[in-house]
Amino acid sequence: MPMKPKLFLATFVMIIVMGCRTIPMLGPMPTPLPGWRSPVSALLVEDSAFPEGWVREREFPDTPDPTINHVYRSWWNQARGTSGGADQAIWRAYTIADAQEKYEALRESQFYVHFTPSPDEFFADFKPPSEIDFQSQVADEFYLACGWRIWAHCEVLARYRNYVVNMSLDLEAEYEGHVTYGLTYPEIEAVIRAMDAKFAEAMEEFYPSSP
């Protein structure tokens, strides 16, 4: 499947970032948060969360490595050829404050908050969809919105303590004569619930509830 510009940029940036190891900080280092030595890639959504015909396309790293704090995975609808794709990225920050800063930056960029489309570009504002009735009870911050930029897709962004996760999922939709292919709203909700369940399990492991 040919890589869309957005996926190509995300993958390129991810590879550059992955090549950067932890830079020594001046002054005393804060105590690492729970789960720091667990592979972040274990939190990526499993292929089984997607409908039949969707397959994994790319991922980084391709083997678990607890020293890598930024991971990526993408899928596409092989049954339909080049129509429909999804990708996920997870960032593990050293502190919760760093994760909050990352979340805020993505909250603005991924949902085109201050975006001005070109005259020949089809665009519809990204808004929380009434078709999906889900709000994470585990995430510290969570936002879901769907819209159009050339094609329709939904963006979900969440922060679980010092972890920030972003998923972009192509949407099966028709609007003002424009048609795109991807996942239906129920299928997108199922993927988001699977994503949230992964983090719910991890947070319970890293921060066990008091008996």
List pLDDT tens digits, range 54-102: 999 999 998 889 999 999 999 999 988 767 899 999 999 999 999 999 9
Helix (H), strand (E) at residue 202: helix 185-206
The pTM for the full model equals: 0.82
Residue 209 burial class via C-beta count within 10 angstroms: exposed 0-12, middle 13-18, buried 19 and up:
exposed
Q: Does domain 5-18+36-206 have CATH number 3.40.1000?
A: yes
pLDDT of 25: 46
Taking Cα atoms as reference points, which of 6, 93, 10 lies closest to residue 59? 10
Domain spans of the chain? Answer: 5-18+36-206
pLDDT of 176: 82
CB of 22 closer than 8 Å to CB of 32: no
pLDDT of 121: 82
CA distance 100 to 95: 9
